[in-house]
Structures are given as structure tokens and as C-alpha cells.
Amino acid sequence: MASKRHELVSLIDQGAIPPNQVPKAVKAAGLCPSPRAWGVFIDRLLLWLGGLALAFAVLFFVAYNWAELGRWPRFGLVQVALVLAVGVAVWGNTHRWVARAALTAASLLVGVLLALLGQVYQSGADPWQLFFVWAVLILPWVFVSRFELLWLAWLALLNTALWLYFRTWGGALDVWFVSSDAIFWWLFVLNTAALVVGEWGVQRRRWRVSRWTLRTLALGSGVPITLLMMTLIVDATAFYMPALGVYPLWLVALYGGYRYGRPDLLLVAGGCVSLICVVTLALARRLLWQGEWQPGSLLMLALAVLVMGAGAVMWLKRLHTEAPS
């Protein structure tokens, strides 16, 4: 079913709506935010800014007054703020958005408390352990809140923990885990699994997951596999060879899923950008690194990028005109 915006754009393109009547048509279709909608937006924006400001204020207050505050006042201040945030979210007749903002602030304060613990007692733990323990401790709140922004923050903590772990140790099992570049495989698997679960929940379980959340997960899936494919072009070793099979499958799945399954032109465009980057690097290696230097090599490379970009834009515009929404 076509969206109101798409139908209105089609009517305007066909000349069915006179130019002087376009503002009235937009207003009648309900595409312009009403004063009440603006009020709700500003109210929620101030709520989130206030919650985040209070959480970071605790962090900055403790850091600025580190020398004046003793060990117990530091912990006491953070713990009191944490208990208050959880109390606002759990007890009382709290509005849903207030509870979500309070749980988000409480999740940030857990990280502050863990960092304070490591700084005061100098436990010698690696940085990745802080982010991993942080993710584990706030998981119940993330699950209870059913708030996708908090889920994304939790997934970001796992990504950071994985990244720091491989930067510190590089792995511990075999050749697929020893190299620090194995982090890209792990990030690709983690974020792709999150994307698949999100799409499954939307399709099968009727989860209310916004498009921007799924697009963020798709970005987290696409960037690592694109970097792996580009690294394979530069360093053709056995470690990166699986990317030759995984990358085309990822492109096909991206195109099939977001062209026919749940149409999303932005994600299809992201696949085009990824493919253009890979092809451009392959041409650059062939023209600039492996072959003899030619004065027109850079010009040929620039023309290739221009042609690929123009072709992708024309193809995406055609898909846009055919899209149902």
C-alpha cells in the first residue's frame, strides 16, 4: 500500500494538483506536524536532554572534585543517583517515556560506577572487561524497558567490548581468532545476527522496531564485511578468503530483503556505496599499484567512480518510482 507522501508526490508530478494548491494538499494529508505534535516533540527532547545532563553531571562532578571527595563520598554520590534513577523508573505512576529516560540514565550511571570502581581500587582489569560487565549488568533493564535506543546502546557496548578485547589480546584459539583483524568477522556476525533477529521480530512477532534502528543494525553489518573485502583486495591472504563468498551473499541478501521483502531504498543505496568502494579499490590496485604508472590512470579511476556513481543514482531513481512506499 502506497504511503500518503508517495501518493501526494505522484499526484504533484502528474499535475493533478495545481502548484498553488500544494500547501493545502500537504496540510490535508497530515504530512505537516501539528502544533500538538511539535509540543510533544519538544517535551520529549527536553526530557531526554535533562536526563542525560543529570547523568553526565554526576560524572563530571566526581571527576572535577576528585581530590576533595573521599572514597566513600564518590561512591555514595553515584549510588544515590543510580538508586534515584531506578526509583523514578520503577516506583510511582511514571509515564512510559519518563521511565525509559530514567532507565537510560541509570544504565549510564552503571558505567560511571564501574569506571569509578576501577579507578579507585586499580583492579588491573582490561578496558574490555568494563564494557562487557557493563553490558551484562544493564541487560535486565534493557529487556524490561523494551526501548530500542537502549537496545542499540547495549549492542554498542558489546561491539566496544569485542573491539577492545581483540585490540588487547588478539584472540586465543586458532588462526581465525589470533589476528586482531578477526574483530571484523566477529562484529559482522554480531550485528548481522542482531539485524536478523530484529527483522524476524518485526515480521513474525509484530515487534515495534523503527526503520532507523534496523538501518543502524544494517550499517553495523555492512561496514565490517566491506572492510574485510577491501582488506582482501590489499592483502590476499587465506585469512580473508572467506570474504569472497560472504560478501556477494551479503549483497544478494541485502538486495532481496530490502528490494522485495521490506522495501528500503536507503539500505539498497548503502549496498551500492559498499560495492562502489570495493570496485574502486580493486581498480586502484590494478591501475596504480600493480601495473606501470600511466599519466591517465587517475583520470580513468575518476571516470570509473563517476560512471558507477551515476549509474547507481539512475538505477535507484528508477527503483524509487517503482517502489510501493
Domain that holds residue 133: 59-169
- For 182-228, the pLDDT digits (tens) are 788 899 999 999 999 999 998 888 888 889 999 999 999 999 999 99
Among 169, 199, 232, the domain boundary falls at 169
Q: Is residue 174 part of a domain?
A: no
- Higher-confidence position of 323 and 196: 196
- Listed in sequence order, the residues at least 6 apart from 248 whose beta carbon sits closer than 8 Å to its beta carbon are none
Calculated CA dihedral for residues 257, 260, 263, 269, nearest 10 degrees:
70
Same structural domain, 201 and 157:
no
Q: Is residue 30 part of a domain?
A: no
Q: Is residue 1 part of a domain?
A: no
Our count of domains for the chain comes to 2
Same structural domain, 195 and 160:
no
Same structural domain, 202 and 242:
yes
Q: Is residue 248 part of a domain?
A: yes
Q: Is residue 250 part of a domain?
A: yes
Q: What is the pLDDT of residue 1?
A: 37
Q: What is the mean pLDDT of residues 171-175?
A: 45
Q: How many CB atoms lie within 10 A of CB 196?
A: 14
Same structural domain, 101 and 199:
no
Same structural domain, 156 and 193:
no
Same structural domain, 83 and 160:
yes
- For 84-135, the pLDDT digits (tens) are 999 988 885 668 888 899 999 999 999 999 989 888 887 666 888 999 999 9
Matching residue, cell 560472504: 246
- Higher-confidence position of 16 and 300: 300
Q: Read off the C-alpha cell for 276.
A: 562502489
Same structural domain, 252 and 136:
no
Average pLDDT score over the chain: 85
Predicted confidence band at 37 (pLDDT cuts at 50, 70, 90)? confident
Task: Provide the residue count of the chain.
Answer: 325
Half-sphere exposure of 319 (CA within 13 A, CB side): 18
What proportion of the chain, given as a percentage, has pLDDT over 90?
48
Among 134, 169, 204, the domain boundary falls at 169
Same structural domain, 191 and 150:
no
| Interatomic CA distance for residues 116 and 59, integer angstroms | 9
Q: Is residue 99 part of a domain?
A: yes
